[in-house]
């Protein structure tokens, strides 16, 4: 509450609630400070409105006011969480009939677009030569991640005798929720995979089933692959930090840019919902917008006269 603002009917209840959190629930000093800050916002927004008269519609307007004043969706959600706890306490211990904040949800946070590499940057990254057998393995892993849009866990689950059908140019993986899908493999990935299979025997013992193995002949960890990709990108990339999921994002964006077939991209990515795939239409639009800005005569910015 701002200095000099009139007292709110909520003030004594807020202090009682915080006292209960401290004594009964052993809340930390940090938690109490945070809750006090969020509940002061509620008191200021409610003004002279009695606690029992605060409605869900008012709580919704209070949340909208916070958002309109510049608070992020995450900050509004934090405030609503504190308010829900306060009103829940009143229902349980002070005879309140309902919790007006219970059904109020914060504004949806804007969905961040996944980062991806341009087709030219991807070609430069994957066309770099492999200088030793482990780099041959790395190259095959990175080509397969990009060529088939695999998740890292899906890549590392592949066995030498199951999953990859070189003759058919396909890979079969089991993704989230046990969903199995078959995805085509491009020519470059097949060539890289053949190169790895030619040297794999120098690392993998006869009983090892993993398609990709470490220097010690075991299945690599996800952290190890991330480290190797970061190393490869620093050696052969343009300075952009590259992680395995970025190769999957790049696959989706590039296939969508070329085909425009959102359903096909959904199937190849193994998304249960088309909504998960639609984020790549925004990436596609960004690409088209850049082309438009560069090429359309009415989009070009005029220089100074």
Which residues are catalytically annotated?
Answer: 151, 176, 245, 248, 271, 280
Beta bridge partners of 181: 173
Query: Which residues, 6+ apart, have CB-to-CB distance to 175 below 8 Å?
Result: 151, 154, 181, 270
User: What is d(CA 256, CA 134) in angstroms, rounded to the nearest whole number?
Assistant: 32
- Give the burial class of 49: count Cβ atoms within 10 A of its Cβ; 0-12 exposed, 13-18 middle, 19 or more buried: middle
Angle between helix axes 133-148 and 187-200 (nearest 10 degrees) is: 150
Task: Write out the two tokens for 207.
Answer: 């009983």
- Give the burial class of 150: count Cβ atoms within 10 A of its Cβ; 0-12 exposed, 13-18 middle, 19 or more buried: buried
Rg from Cα positions in the chain: 28
């Amino acid at each position: 509450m701002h200095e000099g603002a009139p007292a709110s009917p909520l003030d004594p209840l807020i202090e009682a609630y915080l006292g209960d959190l401290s004594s009964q629930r052993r809340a930390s000093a940090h938690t109490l400070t945070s809750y006090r800050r969020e509940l002061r916002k509620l008191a200021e927004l409610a003004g002279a409105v009695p606690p029992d008269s605060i409605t869900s519609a008012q709580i919704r307007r209070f949340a909208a006011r916070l958002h309109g004043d510049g608070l992020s969706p995450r900050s509004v959600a934090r405030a609503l969480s504190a308010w829900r706890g306060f009103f829940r306490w009143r229902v349980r211990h002070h005879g309140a009939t309902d919790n007006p904040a219970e059904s109020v949800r914060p504004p949806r946070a804007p969905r961040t677009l996944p980062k991806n590499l341009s087709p030219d940057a991807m070609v430069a990254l994957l066309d770099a030569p492999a200088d030793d057998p482990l780099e041959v393995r790395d190259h095959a892993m990175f080509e397969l991640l990009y060529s088939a849009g695999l998740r890292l866990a899906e890549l590392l689950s592949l066995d030498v005798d199951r999953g990859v059908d070189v003759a058919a140019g396909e890979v079969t993986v089991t993704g989230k929720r046990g969903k199995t899908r078959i995805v085509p493999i491009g020519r470059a990935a097949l060539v890289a995979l053949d190169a790895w299979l030619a040297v794999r025997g120098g690392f993998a013992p006869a009983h090892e089933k993993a398609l990709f193995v470490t220097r010690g002949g075991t299945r690599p960890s996800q952290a190890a692959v991330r480290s190797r990709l970061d190393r490869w990108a620093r050696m052969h990339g343009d300075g952009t930090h590259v992680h395995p999921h970025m190769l999957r994002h790049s696959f989706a964006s590039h296939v969508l840019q070329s085909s425009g077939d959102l359903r096909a991209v959904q199937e190849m990515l193994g998304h249960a919902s088309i909504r998960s795939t639609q984020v790549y239409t925004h990436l596609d639009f960004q690409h088209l917008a850049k082309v438009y800005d560069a090429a359309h005569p009415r989009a070009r910015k005029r220089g100074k006269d």
